[in-house]
């Protein structure tokens, strides 16, 4: 199993550009989440999904969209990038009934 994979690993965007961060898991986990982590901070929940077709907002959803059309994939879309969105983005998955979240390696995004 590859676990949770994220692409790209690094990305530089200009203000106003849009892009999609990809996240996939091959563990057939029901739950998937997106977090952002700013330097020296904890992770903040952006959006999460409890199953295909079901998504919900976390603490900091503004400026981001998600969809969950399959169990495996959970892409995060930045609609119009802003410098405040410069961060490391982590995707995570979790099996229903379990407590452990498995994190991907992260995408380091810089918006100039």
Partner 1 sequence: GQSLEQPSEVTAVEGAIVQINCTYQTSGFYGLSWYQQHDGGAPTFLSYNALDGLEETGRFSSFLSRSDSYGYLLLQELQMKDSASYFCAVEKGRRALTFGSGTRLQVQP
Binding site for partner 1 (CB under 8 A): 31, 33, 35, 40-45, 48, 50, 56, 58-59, 90, 94, 99-106
Cβ proximity to partner 1: between 46 and 111 the closer is 46
Supply the minimum distance, in Å, between the C-beta of residue 57 and partner 1: 10
Q: Which is nearer to partner 1, 58 or 75 (CB)?
A: 58
Count of residues for the chain? 112
Nearer Cβ to partner 1 (14/39): 39
Shortest CB 37 distance to partner 1, Å: 9
CA distances, 77 to each of 9, 27, 55, 99 (Å) = 15, 23, 13, 27
């Amino acid at each position: 199993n590859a676990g949770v994979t994220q692409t790209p690993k690094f990305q530089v965007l200009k203000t106003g550009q849009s892009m999609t961060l990809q996240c996939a898991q091959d563990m057939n986990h029901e739950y998937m989440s997106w977090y952002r982590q700013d330097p020296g901070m904890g992770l903040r929940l952006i959006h999460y999904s409890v199953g295909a077709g079901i998504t919900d907002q976390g603490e900091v959803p503004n400026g981001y969209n998600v969809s969950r059309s399959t169990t495996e994939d959970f892409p995060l879309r930045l609609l119009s990038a802003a410098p405040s969105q410069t961060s490391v983005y982590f995707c995570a998955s979790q099996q229903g009934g379990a407590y452990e979240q498995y994190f991907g390696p992260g995408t380091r995004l810089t918006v100039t």
